[in-house]
Amino acid sequence: MHFFQFIAVQTVLMSVVICFSFSNALSGEQNKSLESIISEMLVSTKADLIEFRRDLHRHPEMSGKEKRTAGVIAERLRSLGLEVQTGLGGYGVVGLLRGTKPGPVVAYRADMDAVPSDAPDPVPFASETPGVRHICGHDVHVSVAIGIAKVLASVREQLPGTVKFIFQPSEEDVEGAKAMISDDVLSDPEPSAIFAVHCAPLEVGQIGSREGMMLPGLDVVNVTLSGEGDLEAAADKCAQIISGVSTVGAMLHGDESAAEASKENTEADGFISADVFSSEHNPAENQWIVTGTVRASSDAHHSRARKSIEKGLAAMEIQGVSHELTYIDRAIPPVMNNPALVRRSNDVIRSVLGDEAIRIIKEPPPYFSEDFAFYQQRIPGVMFFLGVSNEAEGIFGLPHHPMFTVDEDAIAIGAKAMSMLLVDYLKTH
């Protein structure tokens, strides 16, 4: 080999070595664990997410009035480079995050409306809207979803498929999910699964789930009383009949001895939770209208409750008073978690947060329903309970309680778990 040929070959080999080394370094950076990238980003963005949540908390909006909330969400999603749609089902917002590789479509839902509450807000960033507060944790739900969108947008080059973020209005009045579905939120593109979290009084760092019924369905009971007799007495009797079918009603009213017996009944036989939320006199029509709800742990318990109410009303004898019953079965269907998705999701969450993070919910809580169920009627889905309590700090995150507060560490924890869950879904489907 001539000297100049030797020099040329050496130069080529050196170039190859340099290129190979650079390629390895680049590959190493690209293959850096998505979990570590997401974890690092959530550490750096945690304070921003907490401030975002506090802004929502200061400016709560009732069902169907979420104009400001929707605007703030849409602005944040656009800043992350997502495709944004607004005005779905009222003030609903959708953000599309498209990965750079082909793959499935998966949806993530966060509800965003607040509820009426005249109780003092016990946090320094208290609601500035009189009589309205975020005491169901929807400000946290939205912040978790924004956190997911932020970290996944930063790694979109590594994502196959699309994440559809659904920010839903009007969950509290049970109109939002149906309205967004009517506006084709589950189309173009059509997701093959949907996930969500809901604040719960589990310890922060814990995430709860169960296969099958996660939250019960809800029946609406409406009794119209008419006539010249004692309508108020009839209304009181009617309320007793509705509430009386409950096997867990004692727990609602703080009777400890009855609650213990009721607890035993619930564990053995399931539950019926019935309550009356309005009893109104309409003197113009000479009527009294009593409206209640029934939640139950199974179809058989729903049926038992209805038959008991019908039987009680038929036996009600108040002279000069007649009644008309309107009974709406499953006005809200039960939240039914897809078993296969629950099992896979729990494996992912364990790998991200550790074994101690998983809480298997033995029985669905009897007091709450959720319109997330309407999405699950169309596509498989899972709702998780996100722990927001912190016993050591005196934080007890029971939704709708007047003193509802949250440990805000839950926002980053939820965003991390759900981000990795969505990445896993995209890569395995």
Question: What is the secondary structure of 265-327 as a DSSP string?
Answer: HHHHH--EEEEEEEEEEETTTTEEEEEEEEEESSHHHHHHHHHHHHHHHHH---TTEEEEEEE
What per-residue confidence (pLDDT) applies to 269? 64
Looking at the fold, whether 297 and 391 belong to one and the same domain comes out as: no
Looking at the fold, whether 176 and 41 belong to one and the same domain comes out as: yes
Of 359, 254, 364, which Cα lies nearest the Cα of 298? 364
DSSP per-residue letters across 195-249:
EEEEEEEEETT-EEE-SEEEE-EEEEEEEEEEESS-HHHHHHHHHHHHHHT-SSH
Q: Is 250 contained in some domain?
A: yes
Judged on CB neighbours under 10 Å (0-12, 13-18, 19+), 314 is exposed
Instruction: Report the alpha-carbon distance of residue 94 to residue 112 in Å, rounded.
Output: 13
pLDDT 10s digit of each residue in the chain, 429 long? Answer: 443 343 343 443 344 333 433 333 333 344 358 889 999 999 999 999 999 999 999 999 999 999 999 999 999 999 999 999 999 999 999 999 999 999 999 999 999 999 999 999 999 999 999 999 999 999 999 999 999 999 999 999 999 999 999 999 999 999 999 999 999 999 999 999 999 999 999 999 999 999 999 999 999 999 999 999 999 999 999 999 999 999 864 333 333 433 344 444 444 468 999 999 999 999 988 999 999 999 999 999 999 999 999 999 999 999 999 999 999 999 999 999 999 999 999 999 999 999 999 999 998 999 899 999 999 999 999 999 999 999 999 999 999 999 999 999 999 999 999 999 999 999 999
Looking at the fold, whether 136 and 177 belong to one and the same domain comes out as: yes
Q: 313, 322 in Cβ contact below 8 A?
A: no
Q: 350, 163 in Cβ contact below 8 A?
A: no
CA-based R_g, the chain, Å:
26
Q: Is 28 contained in some domain?
A: no
Q: 140, 405 in Cβ contact below 8 A?
A: no
Looking at the fold, whether 349 and 377 belong to one and the same domain comes out as: yes
Looking at the fold, whether 169 and 199 belong to one and the same domain comes out as: yes
Q: Is 70 contained in some domain?
A: yes
Q: Is 22 contained in some domain?
A: no
Q: Is 17 contained in some domain?
A: no
What per-residue confidence (pLDDT) applies to 270? 87
Instruction: Give the tokens for residue 51.
Output: 């401030």
Looking at the fold, whether 135 and 149 belong to one and the same domain comes out as: yes
Q: How many domains does the chain have?
A: 2
Instruction: Give the tokens for residue 373.
Output: 């169920």
Q: Is 196 contained in some domain?
A: yes
CATH number reported for the structural domain that contains residue 239 in this entry: 3.30.70.360
Looking at the fold, whether 224 and 199 belong to one and the same domain comes out as: no
Last residue of a domain, one of 281, 298, 332: 332
Looking at the fold, whether 211 and 224 belong to one and the same domain comes out as: no
Looking at the fold, whether 306 and 360 belong to one and the same domain comes out as: no
Q: Is 18 contained in some domain?
A: no
Q: What residues does 16 pair with on adjacent strands?
A: none
CATH number reported for the structural domain that contains residue 345 in this entry: 3.40.630.10
Last residue of a domain, one of 316, 332, 348: 332
Instruction: Report the alpha-carbon distance of residue 223 to residue 225 in Å, rounded.
Output: 6
What per-residue confidence (pLDDT) applies to 121? 96
Looking at the fold, whether 103 and 186 belong to one and the same domain comes out as: yes
- Domain span at 307: 217-332
Q: What residues does 209 pair with on adjacent strands?
A: 360
Looking at the fold, whether 230 and 296 belong to one and the same domain comes out as: yes
Instruction: Report the alpha-carbon distance of residue 110 to residue 411 in Å, rounded.
Output: 13
Last residue of a domain, one of 332, 355, 380: 332
Looking at the fold, whether 167 and 129 belong to one and the same domain comes out as: yes
pTM: 0.87
Q: Is 6 contained in some domain?
A: no
